[in-house]
Structure 1
Amino acid sequence: MEQRISHFLQKYVTEVYFPNIRITDIVEVLILTFLIYQLMIWVKNTKAWMLMKGILVLAVFILVAAIFQMHTILFLAKNAVTVMATAAVVVFQPELRRALEKLGEKSVLSSMVPFDTTRDRVRFSEDTITSIVEASYSMGSVKTGALIVVEQAIRLTEYESTGIHLDCLISKQVLEQIFEHNTPLHDGAIIVRGDRIVSATCYLPLSDNMELSKDLGTRHRAAVGMSEVSDAVIIVVSEETGAVSVAHSGKLLRDITREELRASLEQIQNRKVESGKWYSLRKGRRKNENKTVE
């Protein structure tokens, strides 16, 4: 019996390979895990998910062709890989750009980069928050449509240039006058930077998210589209219903309360707009979950 045990240990246990694990190996695994997780989240929340499904279908098709030795199909697939990769980069350029911007928004990176100018960005005052909230619900009560883009770390210069340059302090009266029907500046969006309105009648990119509710108009789709390509918070006042909604990070919270709008603006004011805190707003809205568009 002892000989059998000794033979087993010599044959199997002594030949087991135990790698020499270093601290750098553990750190490397953690970094790769984090990057792969972030990539999976990015794929899930963008049009890249549709691309991944298409790639899986093509992979199955090519596997079948390889099994049955379909040489022509294999030749075409081999030579089309480079073209398809280039086409994917072109098609998903907005998503890739947004992913790199999100990487630059991380607080860890900001603390390490000494020339990060966003740290000194002037935030808006409590009076600005009150003016935006009061004006939004005042316009909503009379069903005056409005689109207010509150800029954060990413400067919206390219969208600012599509409108009419302004430089005025925010007040309830100014906002109501801008979006009043039949006034020269009522069409389009305004961009808010700090305590000032920097541009009006701005054109925003429309979202092509097919999961958005069909009853949403151009104003809401523009708000979601802007939130997909920047870190801005966009406030929408519906011209049809008077409801106030907020878009951020590709998500749209519809028909929010006055307190919820103030809370979202106060988070920006305190430089604490993070995904977890943004979603905490949504957790308190279970009763209206059927109105939430993702």
Structure 2
Amino acid sequence: MYWDYFIKTLDLLLVYYIVFRLILIIKGTKAMQVVWGIFILILITFSAKALQFNATFWLLQQFWFAGVFLLIVVFQQEIRNALANLGTNPLARVFVPQEYIFIPELISAIKEGSSSKTGMLIALELDMGLREFTESGIKINGEVSKDLLLTIFKDGTPLHDGGVVISANRIVAAACQFPLTEQKDLSRIFGMRHRSAIGLSELTDAIVLIVSEETGIVSMARNGKIMQHVDMGELEKTLFEIFKGKFEKSLMRRSQRK
């Protein structure tokens, strides 16, 4: 008996969680307006049945029979885009906590930047604040997205020179100036972006990602060291592990304060 209650409770919690995550995904989009419209139609349908408005109820039934196909036709582009995004990480959009939901978008941007040889310099803030560096750039305070990152680093745009700082799941600033490393034994293949990335990683605990505009090679600087030819799958896995640990430490600090 207790097992049945447990299964039913778990089932309800899972449904609640999935619905909650889906609402977060479509919030502020055209799809959200459609969801509200469908919700209103559901209320009208139940009301028509309860009040025995037979003609109205029959008409609404016909709508529900064809409604699924109509929605697929009307929102085929949105559905295609959603499936494409889910393809990079099938569970990311639904099951990844908001504290590091930006990672799939970041990885997608870096992949495309690498393919198109778009130079990129992106610093991910961890425990040490990067405020002194964000103040040297242009404030953005925008949600992390592939399109926004690619727009920022597009050659010829006002913000493409300098680095982007990501903190608390948001792009805090762009066109930021990072300190150059003073290491004398660095290879000449490393340009200003790479030297700035290493310099910032020497002074802070930030993870700094670089895409070379000459070769498209992706590199990562951390603790004053740089690693080239970074595998995208491994990078995504590493970032999830790092930010999961950061989130868990943050929760522990909050509980200790209480």
If the TM-score is normalised by the length of the shorter chain, which range does it land in? Answer: 0.5 to 0.7
CA-to-partner distance for each residue in 1:37-67, whole Å, 9 max, x for gaps?
A: xxxxxxxxxxxxxxxxxxxxxxxxxxxxxxx
Q: Retained in 2: the 8 A contact 1:206–1:218?
A: yes
CA-to-partner distance for each residue in 1:81-131, whole Å, 9 max, x for gaps?
A: xxxxxxxxxxxxxxxxxxxxxxxxxxxxxxxxxxxxxxxxxx964431101
Q: Name which one, 1 or 2, has greater alpha-carbon Rg.
A: 1
Q: Retained in 2: the 8 A contact 1:124–1:269?
A: no
Question: 240, 248, 251: which one pairs with 2:222?
Answer: 248
Deviation at 1:266, TM superposition (A): 1.2
**Amino acid paired to 1:247:** A
1:262 equivalent in alignment to 2:243: no
* Structure 1 residues 199 and 178: alpha-carbon distance in aligned structure 2, compared to 1, 3 A threshold: same
Counterpart-to-counterpart distance in 2, 1:124 and 1:204: 28
Question: 193, 203, 209: which one pairs with 1:219?
Answer: 193
Question: 130, 135, 142: which one pairs with 1:161?
Answer: 135
Question: 182, 206, 215: which one pairs with 1:232?
Answer: 206
Counterpart-to-counterpart distance in 2, 1:237 and 1:180: 12
1:187 equivalent in alignment to 2:161: yes
Question: 131, 150, 154: which one pairs with 2:105?
Answer: 131
**Amino acid paired to 1:245:** S
Counterpart-to-counterpart distance in 2, 1:140 and 1:211: 26
Give ranges in structure 2 of 5+ residues lacking alignment. 1-96, 248-258
1:201 equivalent in alignment to 2:196: no
**Amino acid paired to 1:183:** T
Q: Which residue of 1 aligns with 2:114?
A: 140
Give ranges in structure 1 of 5+ residues lacking alignment. 1-122, 274-294
Deviation at 1:194, TM superposition (A): 1.5
Deviation at 1:255, TM superposition (A): 1.1
Q: Retained in 2: the 8 A contact 1:187–1:201?
A: yes
Counterpart-to-counterpart distance in 1, 2:227 and 2:238: 11
Deviation at 1:208, TM superposition (A): 1.1
Counterpart-to-counterpart distance in 1, 2:106 and 2:181: 24
Q: Which residue of 2 aligns with 1:68?
A: none
Deviation at 1:202, TM superposition (A): 0.2
The 4+ residue runs of structure 1 with deviation greater than 4 A are: none
Size of the aligned set, in residue pairs, is 151
Q: 1:62-81 to 2 correspondence within 5 Å?
A: none
Q: 1:6-155 to 2 correspondence within 5 Å?
A: 125-155=99-129
Counterpart-to-counterpart distance in 2, 1:249 and 1:143: 26
Q: Retained in 2: the 8 A contact 1:234–1:248?
A: yes
Counterpart-to-counterpart distance in 1, 2:166 and 2:242: 12
**Identity, % of aligned positions:** 39
Question: 147, 159, 176: which one pairs with 1:173?
Answer: 147
Note the aligned Cα RMSD (angstroms): 1.6
Counterpart-to-counterpart distance in 2, 1:236 and 1:154: 20
**Amino acid paired to 2:214:** E
* Structure 1 residues 192 and 267: alpha-carbon distance in aligned structure 2, compared to 1, 3 A threshold: same
TM-score, normalised by the number of residues in structure 2: 0.56
**Amino acid paired to 1:195:** N
**Amino acid paired to 2:230:** I
238-247 or 256-265, larger mean C-alpha shift: 256-265
Please give the secondary structure, in 2, of the residue aligned with 1:231: coil
